[in-house]
Amino acid sequence: MPRSSRNKEHCPTPSIAAHARSVSLRAIVGTLMLAGAVHCAGSPRVVEDEPPPSPRFEVVEADAAPPETCQGLACDVATCPEGEETRVSGKVYAPNGTLPLAGATVYVPSGAIPELHAGATCETCADWLPERPVAVATTAADGSFELRGVPVGTDVPLVVQVGKWRRKVTLPKVEACTAHVLPREATRLPRSRAEGDMPRIALTTGVCDDIGCLLPKLGIDPSEIGVPNDGDQKRVHVYRGAMDAADAPRGSAPSSTLWSSAASLSRYDMLLLSCECGERTENKGPAANEAMTRYLEGGGRIFTTDFMYTFYRDSPSAELRRAIDVRGGGHEGGRPMSIVPGSGGGKELSSWLRAATPQSPETVEGRVDFESVFENIASVDPSRARVWAVSPRPLAPTSPPGPRIVSVDFPIGRSAGEQCGRAVHIDAHVHQPKAGDRVGPDYPKTCGSTMSTSEAALAFFLFHLADCVVPPTARPGVPPQR
């Protein structure tokens, strides 16, 4: 069906959220369908060359709201024969075009899309997603999606989004009542800002865990990886953790300059904090712990491994210390980790790992292994924190398995709709440095290209960290209404 530019103000806009209405009175209201009326989505097909039809009456609810008018591309949705729809399907991938992503939002906007602001802000899904997309879906564990009721015509926009990762592409032609399958190149996240929006990331290095090698493996273009002095020219800034400056990426600033204040931290959407082989409290301290807590409460996101637990244990927030009870000490934990089943996120993690790393026997059995696992976390408060994976406790072998992957949403104790910050801790080393695959002076050139299963697990949490804290609640695949 060709696009129509006539009388669009009379087309009803499809509602994106279900609306329940209590009805006490019904009335018979005559609705006269005249020849020459505009053909809109969901309305009867009217052909202008045919003689006027006889009046037809429909039963409607007396207290029902008047029909809304369609807007923008919503007026270009075709009415198809029974059993047919205009559909677009595909799979969403990380920037590298090979790693599928679960939980991504794919939509056709009806008009302009919201501006994304760089840096930590207390925003929710409604701030990052459009109010009334024409068609919308959320990707399954294998990254697959299907949009129904897609507008027809040429140059139809399509957006793929995970938090502040967002890429908008144009579909050259969408034919009415036809199924269209998109190539993976059209549905991957952006590699650089030339292709779309990306979060601003701060990475700190650590001698014991080179989690920074995941970023180039995910497909982030080297042109986007730099140091703080690069400012807005780079999306990823590397800071030097407690390590020899000669072995750190050239130009990297000390990590203490990153967490010296909440203002410094708030320049970034998320922080990736690598284990420094010890607590190294001399480069942190009370001011840094205070700044990190304020950053999280203001919408910041942090990912930590092993000894970086100090930001939870030494936080001035009693709520955070109750959420995660840190024992510390770096004692080894049992391997592998068992993913906690259920609706708390473990089911999604397990399903995604099976789809993303089918060659790994551990993930098939609902487990995930890391090169080193630790027993730094004594317990968590389930009302304040989420446990994703557990493993045996060598220090207390008769006790239940201990928490190994945990997350906390901030501000702690607020309702879900008011939370906007997030911390994820993996009590393990994700990627221990090795020759040819490490964060060195020429990073990212010093990293390899093969992603391990443990790095894949980190990738899951990196995008989980980036996404809006409160998931869409109207129905699966539908952003909440403002």
Tens of pLDDT, residues 253-294: 999 999 999 999 999 999 999 999 999 999 999 999 999 999
CA distance 339 to 342: 10
Q: Are 275 and 306 in contact (CB under 8 A)?
A: yes
Q: What pLDDT does residue 465 have?
A: 93
Measured between alpha carbons, how far is 150 from 152 in angstroms, rounded to an integer? 6
How confident is the model over 332-337, as a mean pLDDT? 94
Going from the C-alpha of 393 to that of each of 146, 334, 339, 379, 429, the distances in angstroms are: 43, 6, 15, 12, 17
Q: Which of 170, 167, 105 is nearest to 133 (CA)?
A: 105
425-464 confidence digits (pLDDT tens)? 999 999 988 888 999 999 999 999 999 999 999 999 999 9
Looking at 46-60, 242-256, 365-379, which range is the least confident one? 46-60
Task: Report, as an integer, the average pLDDT of 53-61.
Answer: 41
pLDDT at 349 over 60: yes
First to last CA, the chain: 32
Q: What is the pLDDT of residue 119?
A: 96
- Assess contact for 332 and 373: CB atoms under 8 A: yes
Element housing 181 (H / E):
strand 179-181
Residue 364: the pLDDT is 72
If you average pLDDT over residues 133-150, what whole number do you get? Answer: 96
On the question of pLDDT at 199 being above 90, the answer is yes
User: Among 74-78, 142-146, 205-209, 343-347, which stretch is predicted with the lowest mean pLDDT?
Assistant: 343-347
> Domains, the chain, ranges and CATH?
87-186 (2.60.40.1120), 201-335+370-450 (3.40.50)
- Which 8-state DSSP code applies to residue 450? P
**In the chain, what percentage of residues exceed pLDDT 70?**
83
More confident residue, 18 or 390: 390
Quick one: pLDDT at residue 67?
A: 53
